[in-house]
Amino acid sequence: MFSIIQINQLEALAIDSAEFKAIILLQGAQLVEFSTTDHPNNWLFVSEANEFALGKPIRGGIPICWPVFGAFDKNSEAVKASFPEPLGQHGYARSEIWSLKSTETEQNSAIACFELNTNNKPHLSATVIFRFSSEGYSIELVTQNNEAHSISMSQALHSYFPTSDIDNTAVSGFDIVEYIDTLTANWESKTQQGDILFSGETDRIYQAGSNCDIKTPEAVFTLSADNSNSTVVWNPWIEKSKGLSQFNDEDYRKMLCVETANALDDAIMLAPKASHSLKLSCKRG
């Protein structure tokens, strides 16, 4: 059921059962493949341009943005004050090698647990628990504040979903939800009308958790989230795609990101020694 494989420079945990398969890179504890017997194509988008090189976050699957989401200077004052130095885009977790703490099987499921403990200040630790079954997958990100003072942080499970045609893809579940349009000069607040459709670069932070359906010509991915108050919806479209690392120019037509997050004013405040759990579950209709 469980084995360690090598994908170019990166080690990965491979989970292979009669009913489902999964591959999780130890770099970033990044899920890059999940499929079932009933739906044998990868439920996640992974660009073919990826090098799978050490220290280069893979574009696709579910990158873990932690202990901040997005550009550091766009975070709240409380988050910026919690870190002695500015962090890189989406934090450092996705570039670090996580340790595989445990694997187990439970009835018809497989469970894998990874941990990240660094000497970075403030001393935060992260645990990710994956659960896989023939019904789908879940990913739970637990953050532990090891300091004797409060820490504010932001986070996202930056999930990439596949589609054969972005023009015929929609996200439902955010009707009349407020969102920040990060493509406007002043990050204007707007209100969603109906389903989210894609006809150009899209980069929005919705003020609601990712309880939604992603409708593509091949599938309906049903997401449910616990302890998430933000959802980021992103497609780079043509021009941005040309400048993205590990991404082919036409990849924007074959993917969309719907990210289970706590971002901007929804940043998490962790009391001393407290912990927080962010969880995403994905099933497929």
Site residues for ligand TA6 per CB under 6 A: 70, 89-90, 203, 232, 234, 244, 257, 259
- CA–CA gap between residue 243 and residue 108 (Å, rounded): 43
What backbone torsions phi and psi does residue 159 show, to the nearest 5 degrees?
A: -70, 130
Q: Residues 134, 161, 246, CA angle at the centre, nearest 5°?
A: 125
Q: Would you say 257 or 280 has its CB closer to ligand TA6?
A: 257
What sections of the chain are H helices per DSSP?
77-82, 237-243
Q: Would you say 47 or 152 has its CB closer to ligand TA6?
A: 47
Q: Would you say 158 or 215 has its CB closer to ligand TA6?
A: 158
Least separation in angstroms between residue 57's CB and ligand TA6 is 6
**HSE (side-chain half, CA atoms, 13 Å) at 218:** 15
Least separation in angstroms between residue 232's CB and ligand TA6 is 5
- CA–CA gap between residue 156 and residue 131 (Å, rounded): 18
Least separation in angstroms between residue 6's CB and ligand TA6 is 23
Least separation in angstroms between residue 53's CB and ligand TA6 is 15
- CA–CA gap between residue 1 and residue 128 (Å, rounded): 19
259: β partners? 232
How many CB atoms are located within 10 Å of the residue 53 CB?
A: 13
Least separation in angstroms between residue 182's CB and ligand TA6 is 6
Q: Would you say 111 or 244 has its CB closer to ligand TA6?
A: 244
Q: Would you say 89 or 172 has its CB closer to ligand TA6?
A: 89
Q: Which two tokens stand for residue 160?
A: 């990439």
